[in-house]
Amino acid sequence: MKPVPAVQPVRVPPVKVWGVINVTPDSFSDGGRFDELDAALRRARRLIADGADILDIGGESTRPGAQPVDAAQEIDRVVPLIQAIRAESAVPISIDTMKPAVARAAMAAGATIWNDVTALRHAPDSLATAAALGCEVVLMHMQGEPGTMQAEPRYDDVVAEVAAFLASRAEAAMAAGVARGRIWLDPGVGFGKHMLDHNLPLLAGLDRIVALGFPVLLGVSRKSFISTVDGGGRPGEQRLGGSIAAALAGVAAGVAAVRVHDVRETVQALRVWTAIAQAGRAG
């Protein structure tokens, strides 16, 4: 019998893990937990230690029914945290905002990625601002706007319609001067989509979004559809298993990154998933 070879450490998978920090009082999962600078900075340190490749910072909730905040208030929430993180770490920082003024302030403070749930449609100067900043941009699909997006979303073919929208927004961004290599796409799971009728088919068809040729960021962490599949009623912090299952489905489809609240557990899941995939290829 041949000796069993020693188990070798598996390298961190190429899929990027974006750790979420919401410095808001009303985000759907962790609103109010990190709206003080000290708590948010401790959270950032924890996510970095847990293996986050990128920190995604938001100062305005985009949960269903969320009320908008003005740019000045949003800047007051996010800029001190970005500055504090940048003072002690080189970790890439993404600003989750739809407002060009907030994006400009965040980039001046040290962010390098603009994650926009409106795909640079919120303001007339959004596209031009992204091009001028020269930053990476995440273009997300959302039917409607946060306050009303879950009222009555409709699709004939959710995957085809989301793919067509994202392709058109990528073309608009490039026409405005954003480099192709700086564009990410996000299918917007849970944004203007019914819990099961739209979210599950979209996740099942992610390979068609990946086939557009841009890196795809997938945000499924703690989303409500997980609780619906699981029988309903579970709060966000009790949706870890479903979050990881959905993230791994995305990884299997070829997404480039997952946006998550539970970084340590997701990194572990990705390492195991990668080890199994590598063993299969080796065999």
Q: Which amino acid does the sequence have at 238? A: Q
Long-range contacts of 221-224 (CB under 8 A, 24+ apart): 221/20, 221/29, 221/247, 221/258, 221/259, 221/260, 221/261, 221/262, 221/266, 222/28, 222/29, 222/261, 223/189, 223/190, 223/199, 224/28, 224/190, 224/195
DSSP E strands, the chain: 16-22, 54-58, 93-96, 113-116, 136-140, 183-186, 217-218, 257-260
Q: Which of 259, 264, 271, 281 is catalytic?
A: 259
Q: Which phi and psi angles does 281 have, rounded to 5°?
A: -65, -40
The C-alpha atoms of residue 283 and residue 123 are separated, in whole angstroms, by 52
13 close to 47: Cβ distance less than 8 angstroms = no
The yes-or-no answer on residue 259 being catalytic is yes
The yes-or-no answer on residue 99 being catalytic is no
3-state SS assignment for residue 231 = coil
Q: Which phi and psi angles does 12 have, rounded to 5°?
A: -60, 130
Q: Which of 223, 234, 239, 281 is catalytic?
A: 223
Whole-angstrom distance between the N-terminal and C-terminal Cα of the chain?
A: 18
Angle between helical axes of 126-133 and 100-109 (0-180°, round to 10): 20
The C-alpha atoms of residue 221 and residue 247 are separated, in whole angstroms, by 8
Catalytic residues: 223, 259
